[in-house]
Amino acid sequence: MTDPVIRFAHVEKIFPARRGTPEVAALRDVDLAVPEGAVLGVIGRSGAGKSTLIRLVNGLETPTGGRIFVDGTEVTALDEGGLRRARRSIGMIFQHFNLLARRTAFENVALPLEIAGVPGREIRARVEPLLDLVGLADKRDRYPAELSGGQKQRVGIARALATRPRVLLSDEATSALDPETTDQILALLRKVNAELNLTVLLITHEMGVIKAVADRVAVLEGGRIVEEGPTFALFARPQHPTTRAFVSAVTGSALPPYVAARLKPEAGPGAQALVRIVFTGANATEPVLSRIGRLLRVEVNIIQAQVDEIAGTPFGVIVVGVPGTPATVTALLAALASLHLSAEVLGYV
């Protein structure tokens, strides 16, 4: 195994108390590693510490504890000059694009190369293929005000790639875009990740973004990583309540409100048990459920079903209702386990 390209070791960031406001522990004991060529998505609610986390990677913030390594260099040990050099191998894109209004698309992409002192001819030779790569060759002389949000973000991506970084940081890059444009930009991120073997760290508050691009996910809450793992596994078996809430928002595993309101933790007389089953790739849903029903001689009611794709693999979540007797529930769970399907009892109605 090669070393991770980005590594956080016991990172802490405490903002000191100031004029009446108490100190804020924005990050506590964060350990994270992003392998070469991987896309790690960090998801968290507002105030969880996401922006602080990403800003530490290129030295826009300094930690109050721990160390951060990028591409073998400890960025937390660099002086200003060292940081400036290191930033050339770290591209960043932003929610509000941060383009210069008085520069054309071409000139915005060229900017980091001008700053690095690259000669004009070489700048052209580098910027034009980048505009091609992001699909904006025909907009090279347009100003930001003449571009749509998605086009502006394409310029932002091309600019971030201009210095041929090994790492791309994405700070809520699609939060200001409509769903369709979001999909296109996420597809572009996936493309540059694959074609340039870029290591990507992205932060978002939307699980849909994670689902579309991330290989791995870390869930941040109150400055701590509460869960971390491969995207598919995290969707299939979320452990922490916060992860479950994020996952259910996009997989349809949240129960319809009229069912959720009646859900009880214990089975009353005549109650139905609600069981959430995750179907992945190979298993076909309907035949499996009707076969299990026949085998156990119980009626399996489908309460809710949704099929989706996560990290390129089909993924279905189905909630079924069965008679809530312990014998039936145990038999159902055993039958599902024998088919390697993950299932859990949500409660009883």
Ligand X SMILES: Nc1ncnc2c1ncn2[C@@H]1O[C@H](COP(=O)(O)OP(=O)(O)OP(=O)(O)O)[C@@H](O)[C@H]1O
Q: Which is nearer to ligand X, 42 or 346 (CB)?
A: 42
Q: Which is nearer to ligand X, 51 or 108 (CB)?
A: 51
Using an 8 Å Cβ cutoff, are 227 and 246 in contact? no
Q: For residue 193, which of 204, 201, 203 has the smallest C-alpha distance? A: 201
Minimum distance from residue 314 beta carbon to ligand X (Å)? 31
Q: Which is nearer to ligand X, 50 or 216 (CB)?
A: 50
- What gap in Å lies between CA 130 and CA 242, rounded to an integer? 39
Element (H, E) at 278: strand 272-280
Q: Check residue 143 for interaction with ligand X (CB under 6 A).
A: no
Q: Check residue 205 for interaction with ligand X (CB under 6 A).
A: yes
Minimum distance from residue 242 beta carbon to ligand X (Å)? 12
Neighbours of 6 (CB within 10 A): 24
Minimum distance from residue 201 beta carbon to ligand X (Å)? 13
- What gap in Å lies between CA 247 and CA 96, rounded to an integer? 26
Minimum distance from residue 23 beta carbon to ligand X (Å)? 8
Using an 8 Å Cβ cutoff, are 3 and 71 in contact? no
Q: Which is nearer to ligand X, 49 or 91 (CB)?
A: 49
Task: State the sign of the Cα–Cα–Cα–Cα dihedral 7, 45, 134, 160.
Answer: negative
Q: What are the distances in angstroms from CA 339 to CA 14, 275, 332, 333, 343?
A: 48, 15, 11, 10, 11
Residues 211-270 that bind ligand X (CB under 6 A): none
Q: Which is nearer to ligand X, 46 or 338 (CB)?
A: 46
Give the contact letters, 34-63, x = binds to ligand X (CB under 6 A), - = no: ----------x-xxxxxxx-----------
Tokens matching residue 60: 């826009």
Q: Which is nearer to ligand X, 9 or 25 (CB)?
A: 25
Residues 272-291 that bind ligand X (CB under 6 A): none
Contacts of 174 (CB under 8 A, 6+ apart): 153, 181, 182, 185, 186, 204, 206, 209
Minimum distance from residue 68 beta carbon to ligand X (Å)? 15
Q: Check residue 112 for interaction with ligand X (CB under 6 A).
A: no
Q: Check residue 154 for interaction with ligand X (CB under 6 A).
A: no
What SS3 class is residue 120? helix
Minimum distance from residue 144 beta carbon to ligand X (Å)? 23
Q: Which is nearer to ligand X, 13 or 276 (CB)?
A: 13
Minimum distance from residue 175 beta carbon to ligand X (Å)? 9
Q: Check residue 108 for interaction with ligand X (CB under 6 A).
A: no
Q: Check residue 338 for interaction with ligand X (CB under 6 A).
A: no
120-133 vs 149-161: helix crossing angle, rounded to 10: 130
Q: Which is nearer to ligand X, 62 or 197 (CB)?
A: 62
Number of residues this chain uses to bind ligand X (CB under 6 A): 12
Question: First vs last Cα of the chain: how many Å apart?
Answer: 49
Minimum distance from residue 345 beta carbon to ligand X (Å)? 33
Using an 8 Å Cβ cutoff, are 94 and 157 in contact? no
Residues 6-25 that bind ligand X (CB under 6 A): 15, 24
Residues at the contact surface with ligand X, assessed by CB under 6 A: 15, 24, 26, 44, 46-52, 205
